[in-house]
Structure 1
């Protein structure tokens, strides 16, 4: 029976990521049809890789993501006593990172109008086709696949595993990110969105807070479902 479960889950992940990539590059209005999408997914993957290395060097587990922290804690993979410090650090770190980008690119924000690219999309996610139900399900499914795979990597902050996590982020973005921009992470979306909202960014567009619940609750529920399945299958 173990062989069946392993092959079933492994093949399900394989086909989800593989055929998802086909859909992402073939279907109209997918974000993945943009010429820059490979650049975006590779950069985010490597961003996660080096974020994990830095966090691990300072004695953290490199979650970098409240959805990961909550899922791990809920099913006994991480102590509840560390949840609040981790999540506070994640949100504050995301805000500071966004602030640094605002400073770095300030003259370019001044030179760029909203219709030329100066939008909240630099900092936060948004749907290719607005449909809150399916946008929510997209974030749930993408985060479920990400965290379920992450749980099966073991100590992902050790050795070359952060690089593997970066590749995982990249393939999830390539295959499932074309619908909503693959937030996967409430801190990655909400804190930079807040920074864009309150900081004096020249020529900025609206921050689209009416959408913000999707990248908040979709990843959290997706992570909890992944953690629950892992728990049921391994305990």
Structure 2
């Protein structure tokens, strides 16, 4: 493994029981990080913790938490400090891939779906950042990494775009506030990504919508996040890193 200077760091990965979040937790643990993983479902969370601990030899602590609840988020951070002695890295990945709203046009938008999407992915990320930030500032170092999505660059799914634009907005605001205090905040935007739940249809969609000509694997997304979590990434702050293999035909500058 690359030496990202992460040995002995402590991380929280929300949405860590499955999908990209699980692979992020595994990759950080392989780099020497002790990891608290959180999600709403206890059974999957505890099973993942056992599997990752056996695979990596690091402490993997499962803590059930719903990021739409301030009380549960605050308890998650308090229990992390109790279990690991502190926290250095927060990875926000607790959100349904693609979002709750399936609307492709304004007439299909359901208010409650929009509000829940924003509550989970934008306000939820803010809740965890708010709870963790004082600890990171006090120690003078930390990383917050927010997992958004490439829908930020596309029309056709208005609520999916909205929630990822929200992730980018809070990321930049947090970075400007916390950067001078030693805490970098960045976003990553995955596209279609191979996980344990990926179907052949998703594989084909990912290949069609990537300049690589294939779907990106969750381990490849997690490798970028491991670098962003490290002290080596200090020059990157407030920005978003697309991790979908490149959007065909699009130029971002």
Structure with a larger share of its residues in strand = 2
TM-score, normalised by the number of residues in structure 1: 0.31
Structure with a larger share of its residues in helix = 1
Q: Larger relative CO (CA 8 A, sep 6+): 1 or 2?
A: 1
